[in-house]
């Protein structure tokens, strides 16, 4: 499983806002917290674009670009895998 997400609250809020603008389903809270709803929304978005995106729940360069997000930086959008 993935843990130790290094998103700042502002970055998470930016991701949540971008996901809500996509209107792919249920709107998620724009609270700056990376919870199960945010993860599900990211995976749903990635699944809708699986021809160009890996469905992994992470917002790397490709997912951020597809969401129209810039300036997040790679080092803050990584996660480590445990197990």
Q: What is the pLDDT along the chain (83 residues), one digit of tens a residue?
A: 333 457 788 999 999 999 999 877 789 999 998 899 999 999 999 999 999 999 999 898 899 999 999 877 554 443 333 33
The pLDDT, as a whole number, for residue 77 is 42
- Give the pLDDT of residue 5: 57
- Residue-by-residue DSSP string for the chain: -EE-----HHHHHHHHHHHHHHT-SS----SS---HHHHHHHHHHHHHTTTTS--SS---HHHHHHHT--S--GGGS--EE--
pTM reported for the whole predicted model: 0.78
pLDDT of 80 reads: 35
The confidence score (pLDDT) of residue 71 equals 74
């Amino acid at each position: 499983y993935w843990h130790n997400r290094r998103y700042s609250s502002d970055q998470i809020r930016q991701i949540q806002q971008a996901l809500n603008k996509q209107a792919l389903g249920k709107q998620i809270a724009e609270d700056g917290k990376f919870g199960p709803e945010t993860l599900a929304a990211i995976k749903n978005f990635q699944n809708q674009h699986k021809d160009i995106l890996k469905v992994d729940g992470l917002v790397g360069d490709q997912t951020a670009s597809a969401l129209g997000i810039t300036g997040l930086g790679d080092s803050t959008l990584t996660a480590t895998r445990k197990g």
